[in-house]
Homo-oligomer: A and B are copies of this chain.
Amino acid sequence: MTWVTGLEGSPYGVHNLPYGVFRTAAREPRVGVRVGAHVLDLGGAEQAGLVFAAGTLGRPRLNDFMALGRPQWTAVRQRVTELLTDSAHRAAVEPLLLPLLDVELLLPFDVADYVDFYSSEQHATNVGKIFRPGQPPLLPNWKHLPIGYHGRAGTVVVSGTPIVRPCGQRATPQGPVTGASVRLDIEAEVGFVVGVPSPLGHRAAAGDFADHVFGVVLVNDWSARDIQAWEYQPLGPFLGKSFATSIAAWVTPLEALGAAFVPAPDQDPPVADYLRDEPHLGLDLRLSVEWNGERVSEPPFAAMYWTPAQQLAHLTINGAALRTGDLYASGTVSGDERHQVGSFLELTWGGTEPVRVGGEERMFLADGDTVTISGTAPGPDGTTVGLGEVTGTIISPR
């Protein structure tokens, strides 16, 4: 039991403890942990000698802490739990609990490389049906390997950052034109954050997942469908994606998700040896997409065909090094039903079937629109783990 008041039923109780980076007028950027509607100032706690993490908790990003590795992650989490549950610590710790409303949340980690997978069978099938009607919706390679590509790490921004509508070329019947995107979309995804690096030439096994991956962060991979459609042959998405990718301010450690691991969908045909993960586990993360405050979709992460452990093994089968701060995202999360899809492309079936938002018929994002993706997972003993939220409002280009 915690001595912190007001945590009963909170998805941010001591069973969760996600990490972020914050600052206040008086406090330089530092690591914090979310506790209900408060942030526990971990940088301050380390300075006061209440927790020990080699000085990494006073840094302005999570990277140095994440580089310490799982034994240290576990030790810090245990210590933080102790600080919040043993009332002997209350007097020392309470002054370090700052109301969320009083802090500014920053990008939690410097993104090293950003990889985006494409691991929802339902999403890939929907996209195939929309863009290649009458043909097999999944390409021949799709069930043999988790398709992915590299995105732009330098434009990953923290939740709340305004999203400037991108300009670029799009195809029209009269030829390509340049201007602001008219098919601006979202992709609701889950990102995995690498803490422990691996050297060049090394292959990380699926079973090494928990040694390398620190935690999970919600991702909105904003996508300009018109720019993407014109540019992506033959080398894949580029400017249709690289203008911005938003992530939540909170990284949920894997330890908080112990109760969320569930059997992943069966894979047929059988996968290559290096992609075999036993047990073959996905995560029961339940996303929610709000468009201007109206819930329009509830994508179920448990439906993902490829697991994050398989994605890690695939990412490194060629000997590619991992760095602390690497972020790999799942790809758009879509379930079987129309109200479970993770993009407006699917929600409006390629921009042909409008949805009602705020009493209007809508297809893609208008300036001023706000999209908020949130998520929860089952926690221990019937609790709920909150995954934070990733929100952004579209503003017009200058």
Contact = CB atoms under 8 A, between A and B. Distances in A.
Contact of A112 (B150, B154, B239, B319): B154
A392 to B, nearest CB: 12
A141 interface: yes
Contacts of A274: 178
A164 interface: yes
Interface stretch (A92-100, A223-231, A376-384): A223-231
B235 A320 contact: no
A397 B235 CA distance: 27
B232 A234 contact: yes
Interface in A134-178: 139, 141, 144-145, 147-155, 157, 161, 164, 166-169, 171, 176, 178
Which of A167, A235, A322 has the most chain B CB within a 10 Å cutoff?
A235
A320 B243 contact: yes
Contacts of A224: 318
Contacts of A273: 178
Interface of A: 112-113, 115, 118, 139, 141, 144-145, 147-155, 157, 161, 164, 166-169, 171, 176, 178, 200-201, 203, 224, 227, 230-240, 242-244, 272-274, 314-315, 317-323, 326, 397-398
Given A151-B150, A154-B326, A176-B272, A164 B319 contact: yes
B236 A235 contact: yes
Contacts of A244: 200, 319
Contacts of A153: 112-113, 153
A321 B151 CA distance: 13
Contact of A318 (B139, B157, B171, B227): B227
Contact of A231 (B115, B147, B161, B230): B147
B148 A238 contact: yes
Contacts of A147: 231, 234-235, 238
A141 B233 contact: yes
Contacts of A314: 239
Nearest to A144: B176
B235 A149 contact: yes
A123 to B, nearest CB: 12
B319 A152 contact: no
27 contacts: A112-B153, A118-B235, A145-B169, A145-B230, A148-B235, A149-B149, A150-B238, A154-B321, A155-B320, A161-B200, A166-B317, A167-B317, A178-B274, A178-B317, A201-B397, A227-B318, A232-B234, A234-B236, A235-B236, A235-B237, A236-B237, A239-B314, A239-B318, A239-B320, A240-B318, A242-B318, A243-B319
A115 B239 CA distance: 11
Which of A145, A167, A318 has the most chain B CB within a 10 Å cutoff?
A318
Nearest to A114: B150
Contacts of A233: 139, 141
A115 B244 CA distance: 16
B321 A155 contact: yes
A201 B398 contact: yes
Contacts of A145: 169, 176, 230-231
Nearest to A164: B201
Contacts of A322: 154
Contacts of A397: 201, 319
Which of A157, A168, A240 has the most chain B CB within a 10 Å cutoff?
A168
Contacts of A139: 233-234
A304 to B, nearest CB: 16
